[in-house]
């Protein structure tokens, strides 16, 4: 049974030359089985910092992050991370990039090939398995990164603005592909985005963070059935609520 992720009173403070900067303050929420959560907030509010702490890539200053009953203190194969940048190895083919984590797990060549084939098919890149990253579009590189992360079978997928650098059309296509993968794989997903339309289209729940130090301002549950139509009335209502809440936080930044 997959373990619930619990973020409990987590804070992050950076200290340098006698000065301190609090990036995240007293954040608490749970990520339940098969739940898709989007995290939105003004620039600099600590969204990516929070994601890195959940991934075990950065220590918390106070509070704790638990996966089941185990405290997260370092990276784990149970926690997959997809970055905004295309973090692929340029000297490896698409297939060999996807197999990378499986090599670390000591799977046999045959097992690696089978798993890589499954996920490349899932992201629609089977025909490009022998291509190199420089031969791919931005969207195809990000799909490769998603396939590589899924291949090691993490319990949770952490995604830090993975579609932020893509054009609108490619972004919309990848959002739909991601939802399709999520339905099939039943993973927990925590997805950071600046794009409110993206959050409303994807999420079961949207967590809105305040201006720095990042705290939880609102949690919006989205009960609209999928597939969602981006222009339908209920979608527009939720989008308006989130935008209004975010605008108040952005105003605070401009008032300082």
pLDDT digits (tens, 9 = 90+) for 58-103: 999 999 999 988 999 999 889 999 988 778 999 999 999 999 999 9
Distance CA 209, CA 132 (A): 38
Q: What is the pLDDT of residue 77?
A: 87
Q: What is the pLDDT of residue 255?
A: 66
pLDDT digits (tens, 9 = 90+) for 92-148: 999 999 999 999 999 999 999 999 999 999 999 999 999 999 999 999 999 999 999
Give the SS3 label for residue 70: strand
**What residues does each domain of the chain span?**
5-78+155-255, 88-153
What average pLDDT score do residues 190-199 get?
Answer: 96
> Cα–Cα–Cα angle for 142, 198, 36, nearest 5°?
80
Average pLDDT of the chain?
Answer: 93
What average pLDDT score do residues 32-45 get?
Answer: 94
Q: What is the pLDDT of residue 23?
A: 94
pLDDT digits (tens, 9 = 90+) for 10-27: 999 998 888 899 999 999
Angle between helices 168-185 and 138-151 (to 10 degrees): 20
CATH superfamily of 5-78+155-255: P-loop containing nucleotide triphosphate hydrolases (3.40.50.300)
Distance CA 196, CA 179 (A): 16
Q: Confidence band (pLDDT; 50, 70, 90) for 1?
A: very low
Token reading at 147: 């396939």
Whole-model pTM?
Answer: 0.94
Share of the chain above pLDDT 90, in %: 86
Distance CA 122, CA 99 (A): 15
Q: Confidence band (pLDDT; 50, 70, 90) for 181?
A: very high
**Half-sphere exposure of residue 147, counting CA atoms within 13 Å on the CB side?**
33
Check if the beta carbon of residue 122 is closer than 8 Å to that of residue 46: no
């Amino acid at each position: 049974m997959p373990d619930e992720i619990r973020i409990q009173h987590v804070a992050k403070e950076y200290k340098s030359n006698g000065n301190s900067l609090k990036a995240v303050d007293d954040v608490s929420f749970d990520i339940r089985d098969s739940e898709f959560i989007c995290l939105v907030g003004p620039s600099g509010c600590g969204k990516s910092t929070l994601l890195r702490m959940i991934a075990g890539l950065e220590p918390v200053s106070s509070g704790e992050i638990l996966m089941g009953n185990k405290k997260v203190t370092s990276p784990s194969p149970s926690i997959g991370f997809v970055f905004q940048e295309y973090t692929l190895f340029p000297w490896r083919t698409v297939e060999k990039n996807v197999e990378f984590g499986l090599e670390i797990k000591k799977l046999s060549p045959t097992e690696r090939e089978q798993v890589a084939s499954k996920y490349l098919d899932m992201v629609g890149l089977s025909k490009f398995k022998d291509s190199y990253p420089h031969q791919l579009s931005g969207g195809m590189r990000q799909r490769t990164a998603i396939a590589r992360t899924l291949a090691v079978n993490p319990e949770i997928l952490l995604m830090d603005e993975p579609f932020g650098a893509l054009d609108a059309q490619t972004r919309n296509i990848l959002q739909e592909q991601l939802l399709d993968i999520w339905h099939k794989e039943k993973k927990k997903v925590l997805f950071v985005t600046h794009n409110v339309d993206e959050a409303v289209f994807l999420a079961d729940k949207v967590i809105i963070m305040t201006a720095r130090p990042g705290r939880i301002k609102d949690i919006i549950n989205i009960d609209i059935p999928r597939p969602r139509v981006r222009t339908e009335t209920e979608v527009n209502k939720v989008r308006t609520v989130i935008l209004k809440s975010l605008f108040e936080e952005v105003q605070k930044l401009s008032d300082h």
